[in-house]
A and B are shown apart, each in its own frame.
Chain A
Amino acid sequence: MKETEEENFVTPGEVLGKASEFKAGKGAYVSPHDKTVYASLTGFRSITPPPVDSDDPRPTVEVTGHKAHGPVPEPGAIVIARVTKVMAKMASADIMCVGSKSVREKFTGIIRQQDVRATEIDKVEMHSSFRPGDIVRALVLSLGDARAYYLSTAKNELGVVSAESAAGGTMVPISWTEMQCPSTGQIEQRKVAKIGA
């Protein structure tokens, strides 16, 4: 068993196969001038058969990361971020987790007024949607500009996941737009994420 594992363990630059026989998956790339698939990560080589309905008969060869670099936000990924600044037209947040993995060092993201919710986007009040210190679940819209990724909370399951009230207790969501402090009973406005079914 150990021998087959060692045969399948690849390092960057090792040949995985010919481009005519395999498609390059994650951790592999095709070199155009000699039509070969090489590995680009260190890990184990795995071959997945092609999906049933695709017209490409080649199986995909990929390198299942023995070690992958820390996660980086990509467009379309769900991230967990902590709001740092709330301004009139946007809120700034530090991205702390991408998917289910936490990042090694935080990335900066912003949520613009028009991306907070799906309806009535011009009437959004940033201060009634987020406060500094809130933990939000957001979707990465794009790489954004040099300073920050663009995030969006315009879906039911996106928005504030956990927040602290002015008194200091962890608030409980009571509706789409309100959260209540359990100790003082104060209701505060947030763009709440619907968790669960």
Chain B
Amino acid sequence: MAGKASATPATYSPSPTGHRKKRPPTLTDSDWIRPDGRTVHQCRPAFLRTGAVNSASGSAYAEFGNTKVIVSVFGPRESKKAMMYSDTGRLNCNVSYTNFATPNRSQAPEPKDLSSMLHKALEGAIILKSFPKTTVDVFALVLESGGSDLPVITTCASLALADAGIMLYDMVASVSVSCYGKNLLIDPVSEEESYQDGSLLITCMPSRNEVTQMTVTGDWSTPKIHEAMQLCLDACSKLGKIMRTSLKESASCPHD
């Protein structure tokens, strides 16, 4: 998979919402530099590639900082005999962590939770009635968990589905925001996630401006949620552009 230098930047950051409300200046404010050198409203550079797995119908590899995920899509293929007949297609998601993904095993989240969340995020974007009676299997493998895992998994899975030729309503981009005191940190790393007060995850279809999944944990005030949503949606639309560019690039340089 030879890399090609792209003209569009691989980093993306949402426009700051500072013009609406002035946050009271604290020690940890918008000029706070995070451990990896980013500002609070800057996301990690995204590296996306399709066609990582030859034997799958479609696949994608995503690397956002230290979070590395590979997703393979199989299908549409015959549903298991035990399943009931259905007029629309079915989606089956499976997320698993490798043994070496986290520094210690106990940090790996429950794979069943992530699988069902990935399912909810993706099922709104796939045109299920285009493949009745069959199943599309999505297998996500997290090679390294560096924080903000589910958004990276969702983004990578959407790219893999597009690579597999499954009919989609739109690409799906996902970004999460961590709340720490009065500050919002976008695209947190695992260290920042461990001391967060709350998190907000948004999965949206950027071109159609529709949200397929929103997950909020922790303590949030309404204006905070609005601000976090704005940040996420802005970042998602930029991530959407990067995803489209990577699809175009992989199509124009055929893999050997």
A interface list, Cβ under 8 A from B: 6, 9, 11-15, 27, 29, 31, 38, 40-42, 65-70, 72, 104-108, 143, 145-147
B170 within 8 A of A: yes
Chain B residues near A27 (CB-CB < 8 A)? 167
B168 within 8 A of A: yes
Of the candidate stretches B8-16, B41-49, B158-166, B184-192, the one touching chain A is B158-166
Query: Which residues, 206 to 230 on B, are CB-close (under 8 Å) to A?
Result: 206-208
* Cβ-neighbour of A69 out of B79, B165, B171, B243 (below 8 A): B165
B2 within 8 A of A: no
Chain B residues near A67 (CB-CB < 8 A)? 58, 163-165, 251
Q: Which of A11, A12, A104 has the most CB of B within 10 A?
A: A12
Q: Look across to chain B and name the residue whose beta carbon is closest to the beta carbon of A105.
A: B77
Chain A residues near B151 (CB-CB < 8 A)? none
Asked whether, in the complex, the Cβ of A69 is within 8 Å of the Cβ of B78, the reply is: no
Chain A residues near B206 (CB-CB < 8 A)? 13
A104 and B74 CA atoms in complex are apart in Å by 9
Pull 24 A–B residue pairs with CB atoms less than 8 Å apart, ordered by A: A6-B252, A11-B244, A12-B169, A13-B169, A13-B240, A15-B207, A29-B127, A29-B167, A40-B130, A40-B168, A40-B169, A41-B165, A41-B168, A42-B165, A67-B164, A67-B251, A68-B165, A69-B58, A70-B77, A72-B134, A104-B77, A107-B78, A143-B132, A145-B85
Chain B residues near A38 (CB-CB < 8 A)? 169-170, 207-208
B81 within 8 A of A: yes
Q: How far is the CB of A18 from chain B (nearest CB, A)?
A: 15
A147 and B216 CA atoms in complex are apart in Å by 41
- Total contacting residues, chain B, CB less than 8 A: 39
Chain A residues near B132 (CB-CB < 8 A)? 143
B141 within 8 A of A: no
A14 and B170 CA atoms in complex are apart in Å by 7
Chain B residues near A68 (CB-CB < 8 A)? 165
A120 and B91 CA atoms in complex are apart in Å by 43
Given contacts A72-B131, A72-B134, contact A66 B251 (CB under 8 A): yes
Asked whether, in the complex, the Cβ of A11 is within 8 Å of the Cβ of B248, the reply is: yes
Asked whether, in the complex, the Cβ of B78 is within 8 Å of the Cβ of A13, the reply is: no
Known: A14-B207, A41-B162, A69-B75. 16 other contacts (CB 8 A): A6-B248, A11-B171, A11-B243, A12-B162, A12-B170, A13-B206, A13-B208, A31-B208, A38-B169, A40-B169, A41-B165, A42-B162, A67-B163, A69-B57, A104-B77, A146-B81
Asked whether, in the complex, the Cβ of A13 is within 8 Å of the Cβ of B85, the reply is: no
Given contacts A40-B169, A67-B165, contact A108 B84 (CB under 8 A): no
Chain B residues near A11 (CB-CB < 8 A)? 162, 171, 243-244, 247-248
Q: How far is the CB of A148 from chain B (nearest CB, A)?
A: 9
B119 within 8 A of A: no
Q: How far is the CB of A25 from chain B (nearest CB, A)?
A: 13
